[in-house]
Amino acid sequence: MRGGLEGAKSLSHITRKSDDEDLLPRAATPVADADLSKARAHWIDRDTVTWRAEPEARHFLAFGPEGDITYDGGDLTGDLRLIRLVPGTLSEEQRRAWPHLAGHPAWKVDPRDAGHVRRALRAQVVAVERDASGALLAATGVQIAGVLDDLYAAKATAATLGPSGRVVPKLALWAPTALKVELALYGPGRSVHRMRRDDESGVWSVHGPPSWMGREYTYLVTVYSPKAGKIVTNEVTDPYSLAVTADGVRSRLVSLDAAAHKPPGWDRLAKPPAVPQERASIYELHVRDFSASDASVPAGRRGTYTAFGGDSAGMRELRALARDGLTHVHLLPVFDVASIPERAADRTEPDGDLAALPPDSERQQECVARTAATDAFNWGYDPLHYTVPEGSYATEPDRRIKEFRGMVAGLNEAGLRVVMDVVYNHTSSTGVLDPIVPGYYHRLLDDGTVATSTCCANTAPEHAMMGKLVVDSVLTWARQYKIDGFRFDLMGHHPKANLLAVRRALDGLTLDKDGVDGTSIILYGEGWNFGEVADGARFEQATQANLAGTGIGTFNDRLRDAVRGGGPFDADPRVQGFGSGLAGAPNGSPANGTPEQQRARLAGYADLIRIGLTGNLRDYVLPSGRKGSEIDYNGSPAGYAAAPGEVVTYVDAHDNETLFDALAYKLPRDTPMADRVRMQALSLATAVLAQGTMFVHAGSERLRSKSLDRNSYDSGDWFNRLLWDCSAGNGFGAGLPPRADNGPRWPYARPLLADPALRPGCAEIGAARARYGELLRIRASTPAFALGSLTEVQRRLSFPGSPEGVIALHVDTAGLDPRWTSVTVVFNATPSEQTQPMPALAGREVALHPVQAASDDPVVRASAFDPATGALTVPARTVAVFVRS
């Protein structure tokens, strides 16, 4: 429209001529609520629009094929057409599908205009409200994800998207709102190729000759952009990319079946034996941490995929852990990330000799901060391309596919299966997905702005095609890279249905058809409940409680907090727990409360740990008669799982301080290093000897420290060092941790970092590693720690009454383990010897577990059994495992 009535003549294309007069503006008003930069209306299916508008007014959808609708002079201008809306209501099915819109008024598309819906979706769409005189009352943009799914998803979800074809390449992109999509090919020069649209699916596709293989490409998507307020042509990479150029600038057309992308023996790779999820023991590791500080790795291979082979110190340690019973290595993000320059020449590292600076100095973190944006380190929770390996971990970005596969092979050959940390809940920005289908791939708030509760631009896997992208990407990693498990970051921001779709898709993979047994692939993630999706606000989430009965695991923060003490965000980091001195070794912090409050908290923590030791089962009944679900954890049920395999038990991870650093804060400062080692082992034992999946942060078995850094995501190699050579220490005393996330804790941290008594030597690091290895061997060799079901746990596992600061668990193994009829574990967290009454063992033949009986730790070997009374005596700060023949 060029203003006034001239452009309004176009209404005759949509409405009957006799109705035109009623639809034309009558009286413009300068006070209309008409912010077209917002999108407060929701077009949820082909028939239904919801909007917090006045029911008595008259409502329309205006669409502008030229993308030029604007608000000016109190009314809408531009070349617009109208779709009439009539009052309606949401059905119960619609209310269930869109719970956050359930209270909104609803309108129905007038059947006379239903034929124009698809055309409107390829234009600018505005919801319009006018009074009886025709004066504009309100106008807003429209969220269209629901109607796109309704119209296109049935066929589009069955389409093969991205690159396909081993010899004759095909490319396909879902872009139902686009006016035109073209393929731009690069190298040599640039050529542009038309793509054909399938109107039923909204998929654009093109075939090409074999000579296209290996070439760089992008898509040219011509589409209305609400962000730009006009029709634009966006040049974008492929969201289904299998390869990209350095820094993800362009996609590259490759066949992952090509020999050039496979290391020797890849097609014949032998996997370590699969284990049920409740038997998995997982080691969380960052690719760069693994070798960046390992002098036994050639300099050019440090920090890369290629370090996962040979006979380096790190590989020797991984093989030793596998022999002890470790089953999986969990790799922090290794997909293509946005935050690390992929070419070595583009990276900068801190200057100077950081090791020469004082252990409590501010200067180390200042040096690290100066280069943080361009150094080689980041955790990687900022996805750029979901299904491409990260290029900075390759010796050259273009070698990423082959070298990533070589890493998987190296870990498998070391006896370890491989888990990928995947981050489908957000992207680093809206720049990859949104330019293709604006307003679709990211979750929008009620005003149309992108939700950022995860940290960044939240995705919307509740929308069919984002959900499909998640499933398709996971399947590619499983088939083409032989990944054995997936850890979903912020999984509670996914619908439960999306995770179940992933599970079904994986279960459909077979060795004969796909080269992979999908049923052996484990799934777990962060089932936290927060943000705009919290408490089922938009869908049934993949949260801790909701995943009970699915076999998908979630991290158990209950046991973690009970062992460590307090929570991750305490202002005073000295709040103590079962494993950090609450049981008889107070540190004097007022944050711990009165002695009475401490005893009460210790008792509550003990119940959280007991439930955690069962696999955090909601229906397990404690000796008190209360079920796990009836134990309180910050206002929520402590127990939530239906089976042990649905819980990942841990006491530290990459988030928050390492266990050693947490104990540095929480144990009394004068605690001898030997006792710190014992409390480290006891704390780790609560995870290792629990039912369900066991998880540990790399290096915690050797007292790893990040110099008290609670959030080392961008703290460089310096604060994230994983030191295999004990003569270099454990990382403690590397300077004050980065100010941005740790500044308020510097007053607590400074005196600790300056204290040389808190820096362990080789003897202490070796002792910690030995204790952890013993725990792994006990877990791996003893069926008592893998009961597998609520029925078996409730029947066999019990918690005898214990002294304060002691937890005992007893497992009846008759008919389960041919060697022993029972196994009893005593966790003594107190600073003194304790006796655990076990009258049922009186007169029986009981001894320390053979692994501990052969330990080089004289303290644990001093644990004793009194056959007259059945009592078990356990030294201070010790976990002892007894077996009855």
* Whether the bond into 188 is cis, omega within 30 of 0: yes
Residue tagged 């013993």 (tokens): 774
The 10s digit of each residue's pLDDT in 681-704 is 999 999 999 999 999 999 999 999
DSSP tally for the chain: helices H, then strands E: 22, 41
In sequence order, the 6+-apart residues with CB closer than 8 A to the CB of 798 are 623, 809, 810, 811, 812
Strands 878-884 and 822-828: antiparallel
Confirm whether 489 is a catalytic residue: yes
Distances (CA, A) of 696 to 310, 553, 673, 678: 24, 15, 21, 17
Give the whole-angstrom CA distance, residue 827 versus residue 879: 4
2 pLDDT exceeds 90?
Answer: no
15 pLDDT exceeds 60?
Answer: no
Phi, psi of 137 (to 5 degrees): -100, -40
**What's the pLDDT score for residue 24?**
45
Q: Which amino acid is at 878?
A: T
3-state SS class at 310: coil
Strands 426-427 and 417-422: unpaired
* Beta-ladder partners of 636: 633
3-state SS class at 122: coil
Q: Which amino acid is at 289?
A: D
**What's the pLDDT score for residue 144?**
98
Phi, psi of 272 (to 5 degrees): -60, 155
Query: Residue 831: is it exposed, middle or buried by C-beta count within 10 angstroms (0-12/13-18/19+)?
Result: middle
Q: What is the pTM of this model?
A: 0.95
In sequence order, the 6+-apart residues with CB closer than 8 A to the CB of 300 are 395
Angle at 852 between CA 847 and CA 853, to 5 degrees: 55
Give the whole-angstrom CA distance, residue 875 versus residue 798: 22
How distant is the alpha carbon of residue 473 from its chain centre? Answer: 15
The 10s digit of each residue's pLDDT in 142-183 is 999 999 999 999 999 999 999 999 889 999 999 999 999 999
* Beta-ladder partners of 233: 222
770: its two tokens: 């030995």
Phi, psi of 792 (to 5 degrees): -70, -40
Q: Judge contact between 32 and 74, C-beta under 8 A.
A: yes
Q: Round the CA-based radius of gyration of the chain to a whole number and report it.
A: 30
DSSP string, 624-639: TS-BGGGSEETTEES-
The 10s digit of each residue's pLDDT in 792-805 is 999 999 999 999 99
Q: What does the mean pLDDT of the chain come to?
A: 95
Confidence band (pLDDT; 50, 70, 90) for 136? very high
In sequence order, the 6+-apart residues with CB closer than 8 A to the CB of 544 are 492, 527, 528, 529, 554, 640, 641
Confirm whether 857 is a catalytic residue: no
**CA quadruple 793, 796, 800, 805: dihedral positive or negative?**
negative
Give the whole-angstrom CA distance, residue 815 versus residue 824: 16
Give the whole-angstrom CA distance, residue 263 versus residue 261: 7
The 10s digit of each residue's pLDDT in 66-95 is 999 999 999 999 999 999 999 999 999 999
Confidence band (pLDDT; 50, 70, 90) for 499? very high
3-state SS class at 296: coil
Give the whole-angstrom CA distance, residue 398 versus residue 795: 55
Angle at 876 between CA 678 and CA 653, to 5 degrees: 30
**What's the pLDDT score for residue 582?**
98
Give the whole-angstrom CA distance, residue 518 versus residue 112: 49
**What's the pLDDT score for residue 87?**
96
Strands 216-225 and 251-252: antiparallel
Q: Judge contact between 486 and 499, C-beta under 8 A.
A: no
Tell me how crowded residue 845 is: count the other CB atoms within 10 A of its CB.
12
**Mean pLDDT score, 318-334:** 98
Residue tagged 């998987």 (tokens): 408
**Mean pLDDT score, 762-775:** 98
Give the whole-angstrom CA distance, residue 96 versus residue 111: 24
Give the whole-angstrom CA distance, residue 137 versus residue 75: 9
**Mean pLDDT score, 513-520:** 97
How distant is the alpha carbon of residue 35 from its chain centre? Answer: 36
3-state SS class at 92: helix
**What's the pLDDT score for residue 484?**
98
Angle at 596 between CA 590 and CA 602, to 5 degrees: 85
835: its two tokens: 């006796």
The 10s digit of each residue's pLDDT in 739-754 is 999 999 999 999 999 9
370: its two tokens: 């100066």
**Mean pLDDT score, 609-638:** 97
Q: Which amino acid is at 311?
A: D
Angle at 694 between CA 692 and CA 699, to 5 degrees: 175
6: left (phi over 0), alpha (psi -120 to 50) or beta: alpha
Catalytic residue among 110, 526, 557, 646: 526
**What's the pLDDT score for residue 32?**
87
**Mean pLDDT score, 454-461:** 97
**Mean pLDDT score, 518-532:** 98
14 pLDDT exceeds 80?
Answer: no
Q: Judge contact between 140 and 231, C-beta under 8 A.
A: no
3-state secondary structure 29-59: CCCCEEECCCCCEEEEECCEEECCCCCCCEE
3-state SS class at 219: strand
The 10s digit of each residue's pLDDT in 662-673 is 999 999 999 999
Strands of the sheet with 878-884, listed across from one edge: 797-798, 806-812, 822-828, 878-884, 846-848
Query: Residue 759: is it exposed, middle or buried by C-beta count within 10 angstroms (0-12/13-18/19+)?
Result: middle
Give the whole-angstrom CA distance, residue 456 versus residue 438: 17
Q: Judge contact between 640 and 553, C-beta under 8 A.
A: no
**What's the pLDDT score for residue 10?**
31
322: its two tokens: 């596998």
